[in-house]
Structure 1
C-alpha cells in the first residue's frame, strides 16, 4: 500500500477541484471541445475526478483502469462511428489518460496518446490546468481531423461538450 498516494487522495477533494477548475475554466474547456468538434467528425469528452473512492484506492486502482471504467460509464464507446475519445484526469495523482474508441484507436498509436497525456501533465505541474486541458483537446482534435474529417451531413453531437465532474 502506498500511504503517500492514499493521503494525497484523502486530501484532494471537491474543493480542490473547484479551485483548480472554477466555472470560467469549465466553460472555456466546454467551448474548446465545441470548437474542436466543428473541425472533425469525432467526439471528445473531458472528465475529471478529484480522487478515487476508498475501495479502489486500497486496491491500488490506476488512473488508466479508472479511465477505462469511466469510458464505459459515459458510453463513449457508443458513438455512431466509434470515434469517441475520453480525456480523463485523476486530479489527486495529476495523471491523465486518453481512451479512444476502436475506430480512432486503430489509427492513432498508444504512444501518440501518451505524448498528449505527458504534455498535459507537464502543464499541470506548472499549475496551468485550463490551458493544459485545452492543449490536450486541440491535440486530440488534430488526430480526429486527420482520420475523421468534418462531414456537413453528420454534425450530430453525441457526447456532452460540458466537462464531466465525477463525484
Structure 2
C-alpha cells in the first residue's frame, strides 16, 4: 500500500501521551521468545513458492520524539525504507507493521505487488488481523495474516521450483 501522495498526519497530543504512558510489561505479554520464533518460522513459510519477501515488525509504541507528529502509517512507511523492504529485485516486498500501544496494524507493499493487489484488499487484511488481536488472539491473527500474504504473493509471483533464496531476513523485528 505504498502511496506517493499520502497526507501528512495531524499532530496529536493524545497520541503522544498514549506512547508516554504505555507500559510494555502490561501490554505485550503475549510476545514471548517462543511466539517470536513461531512467527519467524511463519514468515519463512509464507515466503515459500514465490519471488516475494515478507517482513514483520512489531513495535511496543511509537518513538516518543516522533509520536506527536507521526502516526502508525507514516512509521510503517519509514520502517519500510529503513529496513530496505523496497529493495527487492522485483519490487515485491511486503512490510507488516504492528504497533501494540496504538492497536494498529499497517501493511506497506512495494509497487510490484501493489500493481496486482488493491489497497482495499490490504486494508481488509489489516482490519481482520486487528480484530483478532483485539480479541486476544494476537499470534493466531498474525499467523493467518502471514498465510494470506504468502497466498497473494504465490498468486502473482509463483515459482515452480523455489530456490530458497532470501533477499530480506525472515526474523521478526521487535522494537521496544
Distance 1:52 1:153, change over 3 A: closer
- Matching residue of 1:115: 124
- Matching residue of 1:100: 109
| Structure 1 gap ranges (5+) | none
Q: Which moved more, 1:12-21 or 1:25-34?
A: 12-21
Contact 1:13 1:51 (C-alpha < 8 Å) held by counterparts: no
Contact 2:53 2:94 (C-alpha < 8 Å) held by counterparts: yes
- Matching residue of 1:131: 140
| Structure 2 gap ranges (5+) | 1-10
**Distance in 2 of aligned mates of 1:85 and 1:158:** 12
RMSD, matched Cα: 1.8
Partner residue of 1:12 out of 6, 22, 43: 22
Contact 2:58 2:173 (C-alpha < 8 Å) held by counterparts: yes
SS of match in other structure, 1:92: coil
- Matching residue of 2:157: 148
Distance 1:54 1:157, change over 3 A: same
TM-superposed CA distance for 1:17, in Å, is 6.2
Q: Structure 1 residue 31 and structure 2 residue 31: aligned?
A: no
- Matching residue of 1:44: 54
Contact 1:49 1:91 (C-alpha < 8 Å) held by counterparts: yes
Count the aligned residue pairs: 166
Distance 1:162 1:131, change over 3 A: same
Report the structure, 1 or 2, having the larger helix content: 1
**Distance in 2 of aligned mates of 1:73 and 1:57:** 18
Q: Which moved more, 1:37-46 or 1:89-98?
A: 37-46
Distance 1:15 1:160, change over 3 A: farther
TM-superposed CA distance for 1:160, in Å, is 1.1
SS of match in other structure, 1:82: coil
**Distance in 2 of aligned mates of 1:37 and 1:151:** 13
TM-superposed CA distance for 1:7, in Å, is 3.4
Partner residue of 2:92 out of 80, 83, 102: 83
**Distance in 2 of aligned mates of 1:83 and 1:65:** 20
Scaled by the length of structure 2, the TM-score of the pair is 0.87
Contact 2:48 2:162 (C-alpha < 8 Å) held by counterparts: no
